[in-house]
Amino acid sequence: MLRRYPQVEALRYDPTSDSVTLLGGYKGVAPVVGVRKVILEAGAASLNDVQSFERIDVGPGCIVKGNLASCFEIAIEKGPEDPTLIVGDVTALKLSEESSAETLVHTIGEGRAFIKGNFVASRIKITSGVIVVGDVVAFKKAEIEGPALVLGRVIAGTESVEGELRIRNATVFQAYASGSMYIGEGVTLLSPIALVKGGEVYWDSGRAVAFSHAGEAAVRVFGLPCLLCSETQNPLLCSKQVSGGCKRYEALKSYDCVKSPDGDYTVLSWYWRASPSMILQNLIAKRIFRTSRLKLVERVDMTGRTVDGVPLRDYPETFLNSLIEDLRSVTGEYSEAAKKIIFEVFEEYMKARMVEYRRCSVCGAPNPATAKVCFYCCSRQGG
């Protein structure tokens, strides 16, 4: 049979199955495309796109700086020592809309994986030890069973297809579903919005109940108390919160889950609250989202197995630590910005209502002339 794929060092092409295997010692810069199946054995490294018509298997500790694309399934095995690294989008899309087959992207095995790119497929499953810097979009079902971190939006379902989203022991930016959403213990929202169209948000701690009726339900909101906490190395994915050992964080409760007036949407959020901390938390969430996307992976050394000069083994922690350090460096600036906004809102409100006010001699906050205590710093007013 005529070979349809070039034979190079550490690359094996099987014409019978039309599959390519990248052996553990493979280090390549050419795209691997146009075959039915691609297998990357443990430790293989490719600095270009990998595409197949049926399936891609990424072994533990592999490096791919390029997009992964398949028409049916992509399996990413986590690395027990060096994490599996993918810098690019991971997509499993059908060749034809007429096809009834569902596509799948999932992580398997024990260890860690770091993906800087988006996940797109009919079904997506992300397991413990995975960090995704990008959005997770499942046309039908998405499941995140952590501890895992998604610095992006998680979306399940479409306008025409009812979806299902399940999250447990994971931190995500925001969550959306068309159908049903199940939130379990140990979940954090960086930007506190979880929205379901045409269905319900459920609290699932072994038995699923409507979130609005679950008195014990609590979804952590990543805010200033968590950012400045000194009791955990990784506040974005706090092990104490996941294990139930900390309750000092701000949280969404059952009373934060409401239906839209027309009944079409169920919304879990705290934006109805008149809370000063909400302003600061919103600034923090936007900073996380923007900074994580702007951090580019520029240099990948396949031989030395380093990423931008950092050993691959240490790269995920180094990436997250740099995010936290950046956030902490602007905390004072953000606090002052939030304070200014609060003062302006209060002042405009009292002017509109023609309420006489005076500024606090301690913090400068506008208070009604009859106030005995400053609403902001709690200092005594009026002599």
Res 1: pLDDT: 37
Q: What are the b/e assignments for 116-154, b being 16+ CB within 10 Å?
A: bbbbbbbbbbbbbbbbbbbbbbbbbbbbbbbbbbbbbbb
Q: Residue 285 in contact with residue 222, Cβ under 8 Å?
A: yes
Backbone angle region of 315, left / alpha / beta, with phi > 0 → left and psi within -120 to 50 → alpha:
alpha
Average pLDDT over residues 127-139: 96
- pTM for the model stands at 0.86
The tens digit of pLDDT for each residue in 299-308 reads 999 999 999 9
For residue 147, cis peptide bond before it (omega within 30 degrees of 0)? yes
Please give the helix or strand (H or E) that residue 276 lies within, else none.
helix 276-294
**CA torsion, points 337, 339, 345, 350, in degrees to nearest 10?**
-150
The tens digit of pLDDT for each residue in 242-288 reads 777 787 888 899 999 999 988 899 999 987 776 667 777 888 899 99
98 pLDDT above the threshold of 70:
no
Q: Residue 29 in contact with residue 44, Cβ under 8 Å?
A: no
Q: Give residue 369's pLDDT band: very low, low, confident or very high (50, 70, 90).
A: confident
The tens digit of pLDDT for each residue in 148-204 reads 999 999 999 998 889 999 999 999 999 999 999 999 999 999 999 999 999 999 999
Of 140-154, 206-220, 271-285, the one with minimum mean pLDDT is 271-285
Give the whole-angstrom CA distance, residue 126 versus residue 156.
13
Res 271: pLDDT: 79
